[in-house]
Chain A
Amino acid sequence: MVSFFKKFLNKLFRNLFSKKSHVKLGLYGPPNGGKSTLANRICLDWLGEEMSTVSHIAHETREINIKEQVNIKNKKGKELTFSLVDTPGIATKIDYEDFIKKGMKSNQAKKRAKEATKGVIDAIKWLDTMDSVVVVLDATKDPYSQVNITIIGNLQARNIPVLIAANKIDLKRANLERIKSAFPQYEVVGISAKYGKNVESFYENLFKLVK
């Protein structure tokens, strides 16, 4: 009963304050899912410039990046303005030796690992400040990882609306259905942030997410 009232009050307050001019939209997910690639895609499409650097080596984004006043329009002419928050990938382990295997020098790898651990902590701390979240998952990977379940579970517990972007659908190994069956209670949209595949549908879903 207490939980019901808590949810009701949360919803009420969310609705009251959702009329503000723009909301904070977070991109969350495990490392190398394509959060920064998606952030760049959104910014390129609507602002004409990229916001983050991307790399095939995990934990390229180790700090919270924010792009204020991103304004998007849908086919009906409706506008949506939000602050886009690109977060470091959430992981349960970080081993500097993995970076060395990717060709980094020892000192550089240790520094990256240290910054990456801080990035994960920051990403978790920022969860509470988000109005809506897009969870970016790599559609070629196992969706049942505990990191994914923990992120989505914590967003659910905080009553933060969630959209799942199943990224990298341009790859043959991508399995959209597997992600849909892992998280049946959420809207899942398949995209290729790198090549812009199905991003129109993603933007339409953003309008439903950020009401």
Chain B
Amino acid sequence: MVTFQFIPYTDIESLSSAKRINKILNIVKDNKIVILEGRLRKHEEADLIEITMEEINQRFKGIEISVIYPDKDKYAGLKRLKAGFINLLLGDRQGLTIIGPASIVKKIEQNPNHIELFTKETRKRKNR
């Protein structure tokens, strides 16, 4: 069984970068796949990788992460301004981030507007 946990943007918007990362990693280390509304800041993504590396041990093998985010470069004029204004008012809650434990998520493929998540097979032997 695979468990997904949704984190709405409102749950992380007032948190510091360190607390955001801690919150996400604690859920992932509990063998759940996080679906985060919006995305982390660029430096937070790098920090997440750094902290993940620090936490790797024989039980926790790391994470798989993927972000779907609208390409703002494709927005023209007023639409771009509107998107920027909404971000300023409500925070960068556009897009979706998926973060899962590497022990469960084999790989996440992004191409580029859809995500395919492959989980690892768990085989159970039946005693006869």
Contact = CB atoms under 8 A, between A and B. Distances in A.
A182 B112 CA distance: 8
B62 A146 contact: no
A92 B67 contact: no
A93 B102 CA distance: 6
Main SS of chain B's interface residues?
mixed
Contacts of B50: 120-121, 124-125
Contacts, number: 73
A120 B46 contact: no
A117 B51 CA distance: 10
A127 interface: yes
A205 B56 CA distance: 38
Contacts of A185: 73
A154 interface: yes
Given A95-B102, A150-B49, A157 B64 contact: no
Contacts of A91: 49, 62
B56 A117 contact: yes
A93 B63 contact: yes
Given A124-B50, A144-B110, A92 B62 contact: yes
B52 A92 contact: yes
Of A95, A120, A150, A156, which is in contact with the most chain B CB atoms at under 10 Å from its CB?
A150
A53 B87 CA distance: 46
Q: Is the interface of A mostly helix, strand, loop or mixed?
A: helix
A93 B73 contact: no
Interface in B89-110: 102, 108-110
Nearest to B73: A185
A199 to B, nearest CB: 29
Contacts of B109: 142, 144
Given A94-B61, A127-B46, A153-B42, A113 B56 contact: yes
Interface string A137-170: 0000010111101100110110000000000000
Contact of A95 (B46, B62, B66): B62
B42 A150 contact: yes
A92 B63 contact: yes
Interface in A83-118: 90-96, 110, 113, 117-118
B92 to A, nearest CB: 13
A125 B46 CA distance: 9
B42 A157 contact: yes
A120 B112 contact: no
Contact of A154 (B43, B53, B61, B67): B43
Given A150-B45, A154-B45, 10 more contacts: A92-B64, A93-B63, A96-B58, A125-B50, A144-B111, A146-B67, A146-B108, A146-B110, A149-B67, A157-B43
7 contacts: A91-B49, A92-B62, A93-B52, A117-B54, A127-B46, A154-B42, A154-B45
9 nearest A-B residue pairs (beta carbon): A93-B62, A93-B102, A117-B53, A144-B110, A95-B61, A153-B42, A150-B45, A157-B42, A146-B65
